[in-house]
Amino acid sequence: PSGTTTAPDGGLRIGGCHVTELAARHGTPALLVDEGALRDRAGRYADGLAARRPDSMVAFASKAFPCTAVYRLLAEEGLGVDVASGGELALALAAGTDPAKVVVHGNAKTESYLRAAVEAGAGLIVIDNFDDIDRLEHLMAETPGAGRREQAVLVRVTPDIRPDTHAAVATGQRGSKFGMLLPEAREAIARLRACSRLRLDGLHVHIGSQILDTEPFVRAVAAVAELGRFPVYDLGGGLGARYTYDDRPPAIEAYLDALTAAADALLPAGARVIIEPGRSLVAEAGVSLYRVVTVKRSGGETFVAVDGGMGDNLEVPLYGQRFEATVATRVRVPGEGAPGERCRVVGRHCESGDVLSAGVFLPDPRPGDLIAVPATGAYTYSLANNYNAARRPPVVFCRDGRSRPVVRRETYADLMRRDLP
Ligand code: LLP
């Protein structure tokens, strides 16, 4: 992250806060957020898109980090929000998000979710399937006073594009459970045009996540352009984040250049463009901090086992994501100094897939060391779980040398809170 530096004494700072002090104050494991870096990325997205397409909106794909403090911060930066469930909608509204800036998603939207969205005055509901149309039509007809007279909707198009990414996060290919292929999308468009209380504003497309090349995004714009001219196009999210030193995702600006060039060339001049970044907005603003519990050399491997793991970060077990890791008080710059020892940074959970970094060089790791895993702001908080009755870690915002927890660590009492006698 931008505000993250290595101090002359070798200690890492996040948002100007020394990690040793952060660990002493907030404990480990902890998810640290460089607030300045997050605001900076939000500004680059919002200002960058507005400069290229004046009538536009950046809607944060909140599944990437659905915590009220993050919703609040991004609302302050002028972003809208993409929600994919009643829970995300409730969090967004509780955090003060303008309902008009909410885009409502889901491939299996329940009636209660749709009702909550309509009643809240959500700006756009994205039609994923024909049942969405039936349910929403019925809802609008039966609740004359509660909802508004008209609900604006988009049709989610599946353009049959398969970007180079993990299968679990590819969504735009034929056979995807999301959206409608072009023939069905045409049928949905025709049906929606005949609905009196659903107003078809345009189209949505999202082809997948952690995409490291701009070309598939351009193809997606071309695919939706085939379906006709509309006032609104939501082009989804999916830009990859930089997890490791070797990853070279396009910069936000390069992505915006490619996307808006395609929009300028292929979409109507006055059309409103929406994008929904998740990972590329929040990943690099987060750093997970752990304490080394034990170092074990066995079978030719050096296992550095820390006090967190797959309870707070499932990216490695689920998607094979690669992360760097560093001893926070003895940061090693790649290519400089002795490389140290090749280690597997593993968690404390009861399974062998519980890995944080499968192969990383660490300088003489010892129990008690602090380990920082960078670029953990996306899909870690949201996929955190209580395996082995682990308490989910706090979220700590760090800025200008000051830290403030925005989510506290779970307690053992929290683990029993839902239990009935
Ligand atoms: N818009 C829609 C409709 C989406 O489904 C998604 C992500 C996004 C935007 C944001 O995509 P991003 O910019 O973050 O790539 N659990 C997986 C990620 C699943 C992403 C699903 N949809 C993970 O932890 O990697």
pTM of the model: 0.96
Residue 169 near ligand 1, beta carbon < 6 Å: yes
Backbone dihedral angles phi then psi of residue 125, each to the nearest 5 degrees? -115, 130
Instruction: Give the chain's mean pLDDT.
Output: 95
Residue 206 near ligand 1, beta carbon < 6 Å: yes
Q: Are strands 30-34 and 286-298 parallel, antiparallel or unpaired?
A: antiparallel
Q: What pLDDT, on the 0 to 100 scale, is given for residue 360? A: 94
What tens digit of pLDDT does each residue of 251-276 get? Answer: 999 999 999 999 999 999 999 999 99
Q: What pLDDT, on the 0 to 100 scale, is given for residue 379? A: 98
User: Given pLDDT bands bounded at 50, 70 and 90, which one contains residue 213?
Assistant: very high
SS3 328: coil
Q: Which residues are catalytic?
A: 350
DSSP 395-411: EEEEETTEEEEEEPPP-
Where on the phi/psi map is residue 386: left (φ > 0), alpha (ψ -120 to 50), or beta? alpha
What is the mean pLDDT of the segment spanning 209-222? 97
Domain segments of the chain as ranges? 5-34+283-416, 36-282
Ligand 1 pocket test target in 81, 165, 234, 279 with most atoms within 8 Å of CB: 279
Residue 238 CA to ligand 1 center (angstroms) comes to 6
Residue 41 near ligand 1, beta carbon < 6 Å: no
Fold of 5-34+283-416: Lyase, Ornithine Decarboxylase; Chain A, domain 1 (2.40.37)
What tens digit of pLDDT does each residue of 98-148 get? Answer: 999 999 999 999 999 999 999 999 999 999 999 999 999 999 998 765 546
Residues 239 and 211 sit within 8 Å (Cβ to Cβ): yes
Ligand 1 pocket test target in 235, 276, 323 with most atoms within 8 Å of CB: 276
Q: What pLDDT, on the 0 to 100 scale, is given for residue 2? A: 47
What tens digit of pLDDT does each residue of 364-415 get? Answer: 999 999 999 999 999 999 999 999 999 999 999 999 999 999 999 999 999 9
Tell me the CATH number of domain 36-282, given options 3.20.20.10, 2.115.10.20, 3.40.640.10, 3.40.630.30: 3.20.20.10
Q: Which atom of ligand 1 is nearest to the CA of 209?
A: 15
Which residue intervals of 267-404 are DSSP H helices?
Answer: 279-282, 315-319
Where on the phi/psi map is residue 379: left (φ > 0), alpha (ψ -120 to 50), or beta? left
Q: Which atom of ligand 1 is nearest to the CA of 276?
A: 9
Task: Give the residue whose CA is nearest to atom 16 of ligand 1.
Answer: 379
Residues 65 and 284 sit within 8 Å (Cβ to Cβ): no
The rounded distance, in Å, linking the Cα atoms of 357 and 368 is 18
Angle (nearest 5°) at CA 411 between 284 and 394 = 15
| Interface confidence (ipTM) of the complex | 0.99
What is the mean pLDDT of the segment spanning 151-178? 94
Backbone dihedral angles phi then psi of residue 260, each to the nearest 5 degrees? -75, -30
